[in-house]
Structure formats: structure tokens, C-alpha cells
Amino acid sequence: MKSNFENSVDIKGYVFNHTLARKTSRKGQDYIGGVLNVATDADAMNVVPIHFTYVVPTYKNGNPNATYELLGQIIDNNNTYELNGASAMKVRISGDIECNDFVTRDGEMASPKRVRGSFAHPETNDIAAVGCAKFKTDMLIEGYQEVEDEANGNYGRVRGFVFNFRNDFLPVDLTIRDKSGMSYFEKAEPTVSDPLLTSVWGDIVCTTVVKETKVESAFGAPDIKTTTRTLRAWDITGAASEPYEFGEDEVMTAEDVKKGKANREQHLAEVRANHEEYQKSRNTSNNNSNNTFPTTQKSASPTASTNYKF
């Protein structure tokens, strides 16, 4: 199986806001973690979150980590678009597509895709000219369908797997609105048994939808309630003219896919097991905490009353 599948994300823009923080691991290692939100346009309409999980001060060879230093500057200066507009700090981020695997409150497994930040650099160019949120990735495509959208026009949904540096299989859905591109994937007819392994690239596009609801009043002006919702799309804008030869040993075989999916299921089982262990420890902690309270109740205060006089 090919060992160097591409999976890259490049983002340039303003530091919009962040939840970055300096932390210390259980083993005493200092690191920075959190979410850096980057606005890729001059009006900050396209804001893309980038997740930094564990950025340490130095590399294994002892050299300083420039990304750690830059994230530290962002924390200390807090020069964000949210506070200072277009005079905010500008950054260039390199990362990749990953899945955020977790168990929902309903007990279901969720694996939304997100950007994992790897390297961060200062950006000096005008964001109006260079701002972007682009991805390029090799993808094992196992399905395609056209989705009806009366409001914005029909689009295509491409379903399959991308790969990280460990060649883990990461399930993702991407969209495509280009008509010729939609026709290309429709004619390719990718399926689980006959997948399409190719390179695709495109843009991460965020759209803010503002909805106003008018509630009539018995008198006076009506009450206007405004809700804001952000829709994030990963739109494919191009694909390789020649896909990979699926089935070749040096590329990917059906056996490789079977093994990759099995490893994926094992990983999800571990995520669920860790979640259940965490919930169990929380319940135990809460029970122990409750046991510290007296088991006998004191009589109510003679001044207490449920009959309030106003």
C-alpha cells in the first residue's frame, strides 16, 4: 500500500479569535492547545477553525518550535479581528484533515471532519489578495449522490476516506457544485466494491445564515428574534485527470481497505470504551461526593416558610 498519500490544508488570514492556552501534561510537559479561528477574507465572512492539540516548545532534537512561539504570541498579544478589525495579526497555517471522534450525549458515535493545525507562520501579505482556506487530499471514494437544494441549487456529495500520516482510514464527506465535476463523479459510479482512488482539491467555505423571527405583541412594536447559524462546506473544485490504479499492490488493494476499515472500527471501539470508563469514573466520583453529606436531615428553620408575603 502507498505510504505517502496526500492530505493537506493551507489557510491564510486574520486571527479572528481563539481558545489557545498554555497547558502542562500529566508528565510535566508544557504545551499549547486549543482552537485558532482564522478569517480568510477582509470582511471576516469566512472563518475557519483550526485545532491545535499538543504543540510543544521544542522539537525532539532540541531546536525551538516556531509554531509554539507564534501561538504564544497570539495568546499574549490577543490581537484579533474580533477586537481590532483589519489591523489584527495575520497568519499562515499548514495542517491536514482529521476526524474528531467522540460519543454524543445520545450515545451515538460522531466523527465530524476538522482541520488539524501542524505549522503556523506570520503572514505579511494583504489578506484581500492571498486569504484562502484550501485543501488537497487523496481520497478513496466509495459513493456519490446528487442532493436537491431548491434554495442554492443542487450539489453533489462525495463520500469516502482520506488518510493521515499513519495511513489511518478517516471517513469524510465532501461537496461539489461544479456541474462538470458533478457529471464526472456521477459517470465514475464509485461504490464500496468498485471505489475510485484519486486526488481532489477545493475550498473550505463558511456561510453565515441569519434568520429573523417576528413575534407579534398585543401592543407596541413586535419582538424580533435573530438567530445566526454557520454552514461550513468543503467544496471540491478539481480532481486528478488520471486516478490511481486501485488494486495495485504499490497503491492500494481490496485487502488494504479491509484491514484499514477493521483498524478504524477498533479505534472507534477504544474511543467508546474510554468514554464509558470516563462516565463510570464521574459517577463514582459523584457518589463519593454525595456520601460526605450527613445522612440525617436537620429540622427546618423555624423562620422558613413556603408562604411568601409580598
- Whether residue 219 lies inside any domain: the answer is yes
| 291 in a structural domain | no
**Paired sense of beta strands 169-176 and 132-147, if any:** unpaired
Query: Do strands 90-99 and 7-18 pair parallel, antiparallel, or not at all (unpaired)?
Result: antiparallel
Distance (Å, rounded) from C-alpha 80 to C-alpha 25? 27
Based on the structure, what is the number of domains in the chain?
1
List the one residue out of 245, 247, 206, 251 whose CA is nearest residue 229: 206
Q: Is residue 185 part of a domain?
A: yes
pLDDT given for residue 292 in this prediction: 55
CATH no. for residue 207? 2.40.50.140
Indicate the pTM of the whole model.
Answer: 0.84
Give a yes or no: residue 171 inside a domain.
Answer: yes
Domain membership of residue 232 as a residue range: 7-283
**Can you give the pLDDT at residue 232?**
84
In a domain, 302, yes or no: no
Let me know if residue 75 belongs to a domain.
Answer: yes
pLDDT at 290: 61
Q: What is the mean pLDDT of each run of 10 residues along the chain (310 residues)?
A: 94 98 96 98 94 96 97 97 97 97 93 97 96 98 94 92 96 96 97 97 84 79 78 94 95 97 96 91 72 48 37
User: What's residue 214's pLDDT?
Assistant: 82
pLDDT of the residue at 304: 40
- CA-to-CA separations, 201 to 49, 142, 226, 235, 251, in angstroms, rounded: 19, 17, 35, 8, 19
